[in-house]
Structure 1
């Protein structure tokens, strides 16, 4: 299997997983099938769309409409079968974790291929991974996962940063992808299961100048 085909499969997998998380949010909100399709689509393609626009490259789902078909198909499937998931929020969180690290690596890879600097490639990876979920949660009236105390954005940063670093040292792309996905997922899994958080700002009384 050629490299480009493998990358496309990974990208489609990320879109499908994020579309599923969007559909699960729609099921919790008891939306109709059109609402499912809308939230699935903006979740699946939102981050990649912003990435492509900022990189001034053709928007991926306009070039290849199979991404839209995947979002629609996932939305319809979840519409009819979401009730079989007794703990939909758990499925949402773990599905989102998978999509997060896949999109972080893909975003970083595409940015590097578009001649972005390593620093910008890491940021584009994080943006690709988090923006779709952010839109999903805002549209659905949920507290965005990216703003909750547990580690979320940092997991995307680990995946995209690891990928860019490994590619900088010319590690084979298959190995770089695998290692980066595992590292980011382990960080996010630790946050989900063990409540890992970064140190938070603590408010302090201001200085009295009187």
Structure 2
């Protein structure tokens, strides 16, 4: 079940990466690179930091899912763009899932709660940051005007607190942290919440 949810999150992230390729007028190779980076980049960085073989290189599905997403966007990108509001909801779910799972994996490998939470954030937003850099955009992590990284930070902190502070492991803790990040991300989209700029700067 966890792998299915993982692959679902990867698929949604890959769609957003491939759509970025369309907006940047990249060819199918560029679309595939952005899809793969968005979907797998955060998890690969996390696993390399933990000094373990990235899970993306242990299962064929983790490679095939971004390819499938790229093909779908290549042929039907106008239709995919039209259902973008639904994709953003799924993206928020993927954000919550990845920050919780990334934090838990880091804790299981012996990192302290603070470092584990930071690595959870990397898992959730690292792929999007790589996508933005390759596409010539300001990374969301550095310009969090839509509260994307903030929900991941709070979800990761929740996971670290439940795991290390209360001793809650497994799916109950993962679900609680993922739901927190998901709800905050959806609320930010619905209510147009923004992270503040430096004092004196206009919106």
TM-score (norm 1): 0.85
Give the structure 1 partner of residue 197 of structure 2.
200
Q: Distance in 1 between matches of 2:139 and 2:91?
A: 12
Q: For 1:56-71, what aligned pairs fall within 5 Å after superposition?
A: 56-71=51-66
- Name which of 33, 44, 47 aligns with 1:49: 44
- Cα deviation for residue 71 of structure 1 reads 1.0
Contact 1:82 1:88 in 2 (8 A): no
1:144 aligned to which of 139, 142, 149: 139
Give the deviation of 1:125 after TM superposition. Answer: 0.2
Residue segments in structure 1 that go unaligned for 5+ positions in a row: 1-5, 205-210
Residues 88 and 138 (structure 1 numbering): CA distance in 2 closer, same or farther, change over 3 Å? farther
Alpha-carbon deviation of 1:92? 5.9
Q: What is the deviation of 1:19?
A: 0.8
For residue 153 of structure 2, what is the aligned residue in structure 1?
A: 157
The TM-score, its normalising length taken from structure 2, stands at 0.87
2:122 equivalent among 98, 120, 127: 127
Aligned-pair RMSD on alpha carbons? 2.1
69-78 or 191-200, larger mean C-alpha shift: 191-200
Name the stretch that deviates more: 7-16 or 118-127. Answer: 7-16
Q: Does the alignment pair 1:183 with 2:180?
A: yes
Query: 2: distance between equivalents of 1:130 and 1:95?
Result: 15
Would you say how many aligned residue pairs link Structure 1 and Structure 2?
Answer: 199
Runs of 4 or more, structure 1, over 3 Å off, are 85-96
Q: Which residue of 1 aligns with 2:10?
A: 15
CA distance in 2, matches of 1:36, 1:86: 15
3-state SS, counterpart of residue 143 of structure 1 = coil
> C-alpha separation between the residues in 2 aligned to 1:33 and 1:175?
40
Match of 1:207 in 2: none
